Structure 1
């Protein structure tokens, strides 16, 4: 396997559909005329030119098989550590009847027509949707390929296709005496009529040989030995490097820059000023950073210079007192509250959060007279292409996106702002320029998970059973900015996800949402935005109800899940595997959390130890998971582990605060990640299911906070309603 070819464009000039969908040998997809895809795992990614086009073949945009038998999957989703490139390759390989190590992967070019995520409706990697969205299309693509290859062999042998079979990239006749490899059959297969994708027969799950088995990730070797190429690794002939400083206050502008001092630094070539930022362009990053420091920039802070976290929270508190857009209203919750034997009220808060990906924001741009090449890691190639077209005035076809492996995404790279900024700078630079954000710029100019302020009320009958439930959510709407067509009548579907439809039977329920936009603080998706706060609130409050009813938290939930067997199943499994009910030492406790999110049912039990100084140590997390049919159990386990740690980081440490319009956190010394000595033992237990796959990546991040804070309550009797956990609050009074 080799590294990416960074000199190859991924989008070419406009062509007809018939010309576009061509290829050498058997091409179940496309040839990019005038360009090529960049290979992630392929040994020698070769340009597919018009001279190499042998025969038309156009069932879909996913598969290419050359005369040597090389199988290439043109990957519609991006790899940012979640294992997508392996799991999606498994779907294709299963139906195509090739081994996983026979498949190489290439980044797909921007093309919504061919590669739109069926859940998100654009070419976008997010919402834990990659396997869910391509579970059927990629298997169909493989089955179409297999059908054609078998038909080509049968025609050559003069037998019925039904008498032949395919395995390991070879077609064999009924007697087992004749064999033809896929490479030998590719050209002949490309000349056959292509069956409709929904007409080919897919395997029954009982016949799967690859799906459901633990497979080693295709991208691991190159990441271990350093051959993996991320956007920040881009190297081009004549490339310069730019360091940037962005106005520390959103809406601020450059006031003064000492260009002379910056240009006096050896290696610095120019200083570029745009409204909200200054870039120093140099031979290398070290010189650029020194030049930026020498520039002694002064800023006009603009209208948001007095914004503070306390004022933002106060506004949320006040506006949350008013009714909002109704997400769900069943029964009469207010009446039921008034007649309940017991009423419980609580306020929950979760803070702004930064993504803090290991690879900071970066983008390389080569602006030319009538085109623009971009080397970047993005979760949204077509959206990025559209925004750049708007900035440059070029048609989309002139914007060539060279996508890369992502050194972390978590939703940050759903936003094209970093690329747009780099393009604005590149307009003033002759030749390619790589724009690199420092860690400080990255954290202080992120687009943050919203601060949410939630009001909860519930009524219990004489037996402690909930008879009323109300939940009001106040916070920023990401949908209103990102997908305004889905922000209808003041309701943000993401902001209420996992709140409007909790897994429990609740006879009288009212959930509403109040949009409150924080001045000067941009908000965006953060690894499962709505559920990351709503599961924490719902599951913490459910624990409060169990305590008020003087009932065991697991037993209390089970009684409310009798009509939800899959949710009940994961709860039962997690509790059993965790040894729920067995004694723990003083100062330790177990907490539980349950949810249905991203198409998966999940429960977690956390074992937590709280010291007399209030320090929290999470010792163990046990996860019960029903995600439907599992593609790669090994990846699922890794995602549960990684997502739980990501969520724990936020629960124990994560908070972005604003003072005088500026983000106070700047690097990993004051925006803490989990340290290795803090990481608990994490166990994953899967329920075998025949249901369609659910999502995984954002599931554990969303559920872990409540399990941990409920465990803290079990250990200390102190309820955590505001994140991150405050050790001062948990200090022993003895």
Structure 2
């Protein structure tokens, strides 16, 4: 197999495991991650002082909540504000949320065991549910105790509502007026949280999202909007091929461009620093760089696909094995064989990568989308030559992340700090990636190929299932490998296959880790983006070949999983599954669990020409059911499912990132096509009532839409789309 390991020759800062651990230890971080971990809520031990860790109350009654999780549009700031407001009894108009960072004890993600701060795996609400309710309750109790002490009355006689403390005597005070005294109160030994029947804002349909006004009027600041006195702007000339390095460069023409201040080499290329963005970009155009491409990845997508398919003929690492799949298939009455191809996908967030760095005395300040702040703090401290406690992170809201801002080598943070250091810290530096930089800069959803063989007995039951996969492992070769890769298997490659809930007694899954020079990264819903598609379309094909209704087959296979059955039954009921469809319209059903959340989806499609399915189709409606535990913000849950459906639909209809001779072919939204507004279907979401802890909805809406549409198309044509995107073989 001609798959060379070029991953470590990519010209970029790559902290070693030891470097990372030394830096992390300085911030109090001891990483023992297993992505994604979602067990019981971790216990925190003694509660921190809420006024130190999570809540700041100003004299004007403004309540600022410091969030342990970064908001990239998914609405976690609003969810966390809801949790605090419920117990604090603060008024909606008083609330402001900002990102917190720099203290793992306060902000460590409890879904990851609390050992590191980070936003990912749809874990923000799971991690925050107890922590922020307790913070609100503790702060309210301390405010009431302060009022009781000031007024000389028992604390039990104090009431708190909408940011005001009151007593039957007529005495009252705002939270802002009592905040200083409350901060001096001892931390209560214990606090009782409200029971569910007392909740007023958790689960409310009317508790309006905090940032909607700012965003809809254009007043929300993102990293791209940061302006500091004397700030310079930088762009970087990156190698055109992954793995190439700077051999030499001539900056004379670039420096002659009006506004260009400096040209400096950094670990990932050459930075052009200027007084403004336009000058920096024009300076980069004038720059001459001679690249050393001896270690570069020069294969294209076609070559990689061919090598992947050849590799699947050989056994891989065993990810799951129960029963004897080979014997079941050998003795089967019918055998279904299928090969699936999934392209590289870009994250393509609306706000490209950006960050700002400034040295303020002996403190390095960095503004950006800090999705993994502990890591970024440790790595940038090493570059700047300061201790991690001297790195202050300003956590900015971000115009879309989808996983791109959680980078194991801290790419944009490394680049901006290296650039600012290279010019002697003489001015703050804003580093910007253009859309083309972002599209061609790597960190993609990996290219994957699946080969599946399923045997059916005479009654149409699954007698054996053999499943092989090949693709790049996201965490192999990163500082997280020793913590998150077991027996050579990266869980993000096989999730959704090795842990399927379907009762398949003879089941074997294998994975081969392809080693290429194309940088990859988790992409919204990670491995589930391809595993759900394969599993759910194959289940439908099993039903079709066996003469079974796909809902009834799933019910049989999930009979021991009541949570999944409830979601399946709800979505089938709400979509009116089984009812006669108008001519030229078809539907497909899917059920999938990711990140602890179960989502069912029924996609309705309408053929452009009922007599000719090849003429294309439109997805007209998607009915969803979701069990994500306690519904903190129902409207936000629906919004995230809708967004996930749109995001996932665009990816299966049109999106693919290809390489030719190692060069990325797509550069902007004209050639890499996200979903267009006229393609967005009506999405109807039904939430399963639950008293379990909340899971997440930022990602689980993505995996279901692709196979649901594919199953609808298969109902129309009898054929399953196995090569994505659909535009390669189906009219869309």
TM-score, structure 1 as length reference? 0.87
Residue in 1 that maps onto 2:194: 203
State the Cα distance separating 1:624 from its structure 2 match.
0.9
Q: In the alignment, does 2:563 pair up with 1:566?
A: yes
Q: Given the alignment, which residue of 131, 135, 139 partners 1:145?
A: 139
Between 145-154 and 371-380, the greater mean CA deviation after superposition: 145-154
User: d(CA) in 1 for partners of 2:51 and 2:730?
Assistant: 61
After superposition, the C-alpha distances for 1:61-94 in whole angstroms (9 at most, x for unaligned) are 1122344443221111111111111111000110
- Unaligned segments of structure 1, at least 5 residues: 1-13, 17-55
After superposition, the C-alpha distances for 1:343-398 in whole angstroms (9 at most, x for unaligned) are 22222221111111100111222247844322212211221111112222321122
Residue in 2 that maps onto 1:340: 332
State the Cα distance separating 1:682 from its structure 2 match.
1.1
Q: In the alignment, does 2:166 pair up with 1:213?
A: no
What SS does structure 1 have at the residue aligned with 2:53?
A: coil
Residues 20-59 of structure 1 mapped to structure 2, 5 A cutoff: none
What SS does structure 1 have at the residue aligned with 2:721?
A: coil
Q: In the alignment, does 2:473 pair up with 1:473?
A: no
Contact between 2:70 and 2:371, CA under 8 Å: does it hold in 1? yes
Q: Given the alignment, which residue of 63, 69, 82 partners 1:77?
A: 69
Q: In the alignment, does 2:455 pair up with 1:455?
A: no
Q: In the alignment, does 2:527 pair up with 1:536?
A: no
After superposition, the C-alpha distances for 1:83-130 in whole angstroms (9 at most, x for unaligned) are 111111000110112223222222213222210111134211111111
Distance change >3 Å, CA 727–CA 310, structure 1 → 2: closer
What SS does structure 1 have at the residue aligned with 2:591?
A: strand
Contact between 1:477 and 1:492, CA under 8 Å: does it hold in 2? yes
- Unaligned segments of structure 2, at least 5 residues: 1-25, 29-47
After superposition, the C-alpha distances for 1:291-335 in whole angstroms (9 at most, x for unaligned) are 211224443323225322122223322332333333332223223
After superposition, the C-alpha distances for 1:553-609 in whole angstroms (9 at most, x for unaligned) are 122212222222221222222222223223334443211110121121110011123
User: d(CA) in 2 for partners of 1:164 and 1:123?
Assistant: 36
CA-atom RMSD, angstroms? 2.4
Distance change >3 Å, CA 176–CA 131, structure 1 → 2: farther
What SS does structure 1 have at the residue aligned with 2:111?
A: coil
Residue in 1 that maps onto 2:575: 578
Q: In the alignment, does 2:111 pair up with 1:119?
A: yes
State the Cα distance separating 1:443 from its structure 2 match.
0.4
State the Cα distance separating 1:180 from its structure 2 match.
4.0
Residue in 1 that maps onto 2:395: 403
Residue in 1 that maps onto 2:162: 168
User: d(CA) in 1 for partners of 2:133 and 2:291?
Assistant: 55
What SS does structure 2 have at the residue aligned with 1:528?
A: coil
Residues 66-465 of structure 1 mapped to structure 2, 5 A cutoff: 66-120=58-112, 121-156=115-150, 159-173=153-167, 175=168, 177-196=170-189, 199-214=190-205, 215-274=207-266, 276-367=268-359, 370-415=362-407, 416-429=410-423, 430-465=426-461
Contact between 2:525 and 2:594, CA under 8 Å: does it hold in 1? no
Residue in 2 that maps onto 1:627: 628
User: d(CA) in 2 for partners of 1:221 and 1:729?
Assistant: 41
Contact between 1:588 and 1:714, CA under 8 Å: does it hold in 2? no
Distance change >3 Å, CA 305–CA 107, structure 1 → 2: closer
Distance change >3 Å, CA 193–CA 368, structure 1 → 2: closer
Distance change >3 Å, CA 655–CA 79, structure 1 → 2: same
User: d(CA) in 2 for partners of 1:594 and 1:393?
Assistant: 50
The higher-RCO structure (CA 8 Å, 6+ apart) is 2
Contact between 2:442 and 2:518, CA under 8 Å: does it hold in 1? no
Between 534-543 and 459-468, the greater mean CA deviation after superposition: 459-468
Contact between 2:644 and 2:701, CA under 8 Å: does it hold in 1? yes
Contact between 2:325 and 2:465, CA under 8 Å: does it hold in 1? yes
Residue in 2 that maps onto 1:49: none
Contact between 1:609 and 1:712, CA under 8 Å: does it hold in 2? no
Between 634-643 and 97-106, the greater mean CA deviation after superposition: 97-106
Contact between 1:271 and 1:278, CA under 8 Å: does it hold in 2? yes
Residue in 2 that maps onto 1:526: 523
User: d(CA) in 2 for partners of 1:713 and 1:266?
Assistant: 59
Residue in 1 that maps onto 2:551: 554
Distance change >3 Å, CA 200–CA 278, structure 1 → 2: same
User: d(CA) in 2 for partners of 1:454 and 1:15?
Assistant: 41
User: d(CA) in 2 for partners of 1:657 and 1:239?
Assistant: 37
Distance change >3 Å, CA 161–CA 465, structure 1 → 2: farther
Residue in 2 that maps onto 1:685: 686
Q: Tell me how many residue pairs correspond in the alignment.
A: 676
State the Cα distance separating 1:190 from its structure 2 match.
3.0
User: d(CA) in 2 for partners of 1:428 and 1:692?
Assistant: 48
After superposition, the C-alpha distances for 1:148-174 in whole angstroms (9 at most, x for unaligned) are 23333344555544454432223344x
Residue in 2 that maps onto 1:46: none
Residue in 2 that maps onto 1:598: 595
Q: Given the alignment, which residue of 507, 510, 513 partners 1:509?
A: 507
User: d(CA) in 1 for partners of 2:172 and 2:464?
Assistant: 68
Between 280-289 and 160-169, the greater mean CA deviation after superposition: 160-169
User: d(CA) in 2 for partners of 1:60 and 1:647?
Assistant: 40
Q: In the alignment, does 2:542 pair up with 1:545?
A: yes
State the Cα distance separating 1:243 from its structure 2 match.
2.3
What SS does structure 1 have at the residue aligned with 2:701?
A: helix
